[in-house]
């Protein structure tokens, strides 16, 4: 069921590949659902252990690529299932619908489809399936290429030059992100910026470098083959809409990890729920259920022992605090612990290694036998930066 212009070897290959497409799409969807969580954990681990430049962008682009591939395979699976269903019904009734069996009354209009209609519909649907598969895979590979661009041109220079903060590096990063954004627009518009007079010379140096770093030069022949046979503007609009949906879904999955507000939550008074400090599950080990600690944590919000165990993770950026503070030999020397209004002096900290999630940090055990039964607040501050602090509420039950 292909055009007469399609080579015979390609027709035979495609007509015998739909079973493999079902297996590939189904298996890929199952694998990609697991891959999203694995990738998120990997990037979050790098944020703690390496503090690399651009990890939030890598997280967003990586999850976006996974969701584009997942949604693309899912859409392809639905379209291919519809194609198989139409093949089955056409096999049962090869002559098309009987006109006398279609009797809708006005104002409804009905025209009995003949066999030619179903033949053309199957050809068009087959083309749509191939288009969805091609765009999903190439879009994901191109998003991966953009991550490579940012790693090579943003993260590696900050590591090799040991850059913490510098005005020139900020300008360099902003300029790089601007050209990367133009590069993404050019991809979605199938190379429209490369055909614009004047602008082509402005973007050429950056795009030439990006093409080689992202390996787009490998994908370009296939992109030329595809874009030269399709209506570019209409398809670019559909691709932009698809990517927007995937971006919105990706944002909904990781906005908490990026420390961003939930743009889909339209409740106005989210920050005015109650006057007390927030009870965030990330501060209590029994509510994390084995997940990683990203700052500090207590065993539980309810303490029934005369001692309070405080765990602080070791983050890469704490090394900057040591270098900027005089007379400090240990990371624990930078920490200040208060419960309510009482400052704990000469706190004994212990290096801690957690096997469950392979985290390294420090643990202090504070005597709280003198505290009254009821609510209390643990305040963790920093000697290096007094503006940084954590407030963790807990209740003493005995």
Question: SS3 sequence, the chain?
Answer: CCCCCCCHHHHHHHHCCHHHHHHHHHHHHHHHHHHHHHHHHHHHHHHHHCCCCCHHHHHHHHHHHHHHHHHHHHHHHHHHHHHHHHHHHHHHCCCECCHHHCCCCCCCCCCCCEHHHHHHHHHHHHHHHHHHHHHHHHHHHHHHHHHHHHHHHHHHHHHHCCCCCCHHHHHHHHHHHHHHHHHHHHHHCCCHHHHCCCHHHHHHHHHHHHHHHCCHHHHHHHHHHHHCCCCHHHHHHHHHHHHHHHHHHHHHHHCCCCCCCCCCCCCCCHHHCCCCCCCCHHHEHHHHCCCCCCCEEECCCEECCCEEEEEEECCCCHHHHHHHCCCCCCHHHHEEEEECCEEECCCCEEEEEECCCCEEEEEEEEECCCCCCEEEEEEEEECCCCCCEEEEEEEECC
Q: Confidence class of residue 176 from pLDDT cuts 50, 70 and 90?
A: very high
Q: In whole angstroms, what is the distance from residue 285 CA to residue 282 CA?
A: 7
| Least confident among 36-40, 294-298, 387-391 | 36-40
pTM of the model: 0.74
In order of start, what are the domains of the chain with their CATH numbers?
Answer: 8-254 (no CATH), 281-396 (2.60.40)
Confidence of residue 365 (pLDDT cuts 50, 70, 90): very high
Question: Which pLDDT value is given to residue 348?
Answer: 93
Query: What is the pLDDT, as a whole number, of residue 2?
Result: 47
Q: Report the pLDDT value the prediction gives residue 182, as an integer from 0 to 100.
A: 94
For residue 10, name the pLDDT band (cuts at 50, 70, 90).
very low
Identify the pLDDT of residue 357.
Answer: 66
């Amino acid at each position: 069921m292909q055009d007469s212009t399609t080579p015979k070897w390609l027709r035979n290959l495609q007509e015998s590949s739909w079973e493999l497409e079902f297996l590939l799409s189904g298996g890929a969807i199952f694998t990609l659902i697991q891959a999203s969580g694995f990738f998120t954990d990997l990037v979050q681990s790098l944020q703690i252990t390496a503090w690399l430049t651009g990890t939030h962008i890598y997280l967003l682009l990586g999850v976006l690529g996974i969701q584009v591939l997942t949604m693309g395979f899912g859409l392809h699976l639905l379209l291919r299932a519809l194609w198989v269903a139409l093949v089955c019904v056409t096999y049962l009734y090869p002559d098309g619908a009987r006109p006398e069996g279609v009797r809708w009354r006005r104002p409804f209009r009905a025209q009995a489809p003949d066999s030619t209609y179903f033949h053309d519909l199957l050809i068009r649907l087959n083309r749509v399936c191939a288009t969805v598969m091609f765009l999903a895979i190439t879009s994901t590979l191109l998003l991966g290429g953009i991550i490579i661009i940012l790693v090579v041109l943003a993260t590696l220079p900050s590591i090799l030059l040991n850059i913490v903060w510098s005005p020139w590096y900020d300008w360099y990063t902003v300029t790089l992100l601007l050209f990367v954004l133009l590069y993404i627009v050019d991809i979605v518009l199938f190379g429209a910026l490369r055909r614009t007079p004047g602008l082509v010379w402005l973007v050429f140096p950056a795009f030439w470098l990006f093409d080689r770093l992202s390996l787009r030069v490998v994908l370009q022949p296939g992109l030329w083959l595809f874009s030269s046979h399709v209506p570019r503007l209409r398809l670019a609009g559909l691709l932009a809409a698809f990517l927007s949906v995937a971006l919105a879904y990706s944002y909904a999955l990781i906005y908490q990890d990026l420390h961003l507000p939930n743009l889909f939550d339209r409740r106005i008074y989210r920050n005015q729920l109650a006057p007390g400090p927030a009870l965030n599950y990330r501060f209590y080990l029994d509510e994390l259920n084995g997940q990683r600690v990203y700052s500090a944590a207590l065993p539980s919000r309810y303490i029934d022992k005369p001692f309070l165990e405080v765990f602080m993770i070791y983050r890469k950026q704490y090394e900057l605090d040591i270098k900027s503070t005089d007379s400090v030999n240990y990371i624990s020397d930078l920490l200040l612990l208060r419960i309510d209004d009482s400052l704990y002096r000469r706190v004994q900290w212990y290096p801690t290694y957690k096997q469950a999630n392979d985290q390294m940090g420090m643990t202090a055990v504070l005597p709280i036998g003198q505290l009254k039964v009821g609510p209390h607040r643990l305040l963790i501050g920093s000697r290096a930066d007094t503006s940084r602090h954590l407030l963790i509420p807990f209740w003493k039950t005995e």
